[in-house]
């Protein structure tokens, strides 16, 4: 019976507790929060990097590890007053060329020790990272064991982890609930299906802003380099005033995490 009751409380916490987190966050902060993450810093293709770093807003810049520009981009991001996070490559559900991942990436089936080693090594080339999200990862995000190790690393190091939701069947939210940790998931991509036109990016920024307004917080993800670049940077720059005029505060990932975490109840201790 006791087992059943605790099982029931876990199920109830998944279905009942999660939606209320955002309401509490909104009440505490007063303003809805929008976190704008920009992926794919660190690589060879630097298109949009300079424009993105000149945007007058606290963007969160995700840097790929152990690449030619990882260290230099991390420093430039910090100097521009923006937040650095690690853009951790993880295996896809289909075969992709090795070069798409870079030298350090998590594979489905890696042991806990290997997952920890890989993220630790990656963080060394992206100093002062305040959290991490997923590069590619459509396979790993469907693997509960490997995702469990990723969350274990996040919990052990008190780092926010964002499920970039690169596959519709991601199980990261379930794993986060089981680990009793806040789930942070990407709400909107700014260049879905490879459409990186200025107008399209603007549209998706506003979709994200409206989610933030309605739910209290949202996470949107755009790109520098081949998957985004100049248009994405210009669309973001020209949207900042409109987002502010909607009463939304643009916050770096660490601040969003702090706000949500401060009201998160660890159901395991209840």
- Interface ranges with Zn ion (CB under 5 A): 39-40, 135
The least CB distance from residue 89 to Zn ion, in Å, is: 8
Residue with smaller CB distance to Zn ion, 39 or 188:
39
Q: How far is the CB of 166 from Zn ion (least distance, A)?
A: 9
Q: Where does residue 143 rank: exposed (0-12), middle (13-18), buried (19+ CB within 10 A)? A: buried
Q: Name the strand (E) or helix (H) holding 34.
A: strand 33-41
What element of type H or E holds 146? Answer: helix 144-156
* Nearest approach, Cβ of residue 3 and Zn ion (Å): 42
Whichever of 29 and 170 has its CB closer to Zn ion, that residue is 170
Q: CA-to-CA distance for 182 and 162, rounded, in angstroms?
A: 10
Task: State the first-to-last Cα distance of the chain, in angstroms, to the nearest integer.
Answer: 17
- 72 contact partners, CB below 8 Å, separation of at least 6: none
- Which residue's CB is nearer to Zn ion, number 82 or number 135? 135
Closest distance to Zn ion from the beta carbon of 163 (Å):
13
* Nearest to Zn ion of 39, 163 (CB atom): 39
Residue closer to Zn ion (CB basis): 172 or 248: 172
Least separation in angstroms between residue 138's CB and Zn ion is 11
Report d(CA 67, CA 53) in Å as an integer: 19
CA dihedral 115, 118, 124, 130 (to 10 degrees): -40
Give 53 or 248: the residue with its C-beta nearer to Zn ion. Answer: 53
Q: How far is the CB of 39 from Zn ion (least distance, A)?
A: 4
Q: Would strands 188-189 and 184-185 be described as parallel, antiparallel, or unpaired? A: unpaired
């Amino acid at each position: 019976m006791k087992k059943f009751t605790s099982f029931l409380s876990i199920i109830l916490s998944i279905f009942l507790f999660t939606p209320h987190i955002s309401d509490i966050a909104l009440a505490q902060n007063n303003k809805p929060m929008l976190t704008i993450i920009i992926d794919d810093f660190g690589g060879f293709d630097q298109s949009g990097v300079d424009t993105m770093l000149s945007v007058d807003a606290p963007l969160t810049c995700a840097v790929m590890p152990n690449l030619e520009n990882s260290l230099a981009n991390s420093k430039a991001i910090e100097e521009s007053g923006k937040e650095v996070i690690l853009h951790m490559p993880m295996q896809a559900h289909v075969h992709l060329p090795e070069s798409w991942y870079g030298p350090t990436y998590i594979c489905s089936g890696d042991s806990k020790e290997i997952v920890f080693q890989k993220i630790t090594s990656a963080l060394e080339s992206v100093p002062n990272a305040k959290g991490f999200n997923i590069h590619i990862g459509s396979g790993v995000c469907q693997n509960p064991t490997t995702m469990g190790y990723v969350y274990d690393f996040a919990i052990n190091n008190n780092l926010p982890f964002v499920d970039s939701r690169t596959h519709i069947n991601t199980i990261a939210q379930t794993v986060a609930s089981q680990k009793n940790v806040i789930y942070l998931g990407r709400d909107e991509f700014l260049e879905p299906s490879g459409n990186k036109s200025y107008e399209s990016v603007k549209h998706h920024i506003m979709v994200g802003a409206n989610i933030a307004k309605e739910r209290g917080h949202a996470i949107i993800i755009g790109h520098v380099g081949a998957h985004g670049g100049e248009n994405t940077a210009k669309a973001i720059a020209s949207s900042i005033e409109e987002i502010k005029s909607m009463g939304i505060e643009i916050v770096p990932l660490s601040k969003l995490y702090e706000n949500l975490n401060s009201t998160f109840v660890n159901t395991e201790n209840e």
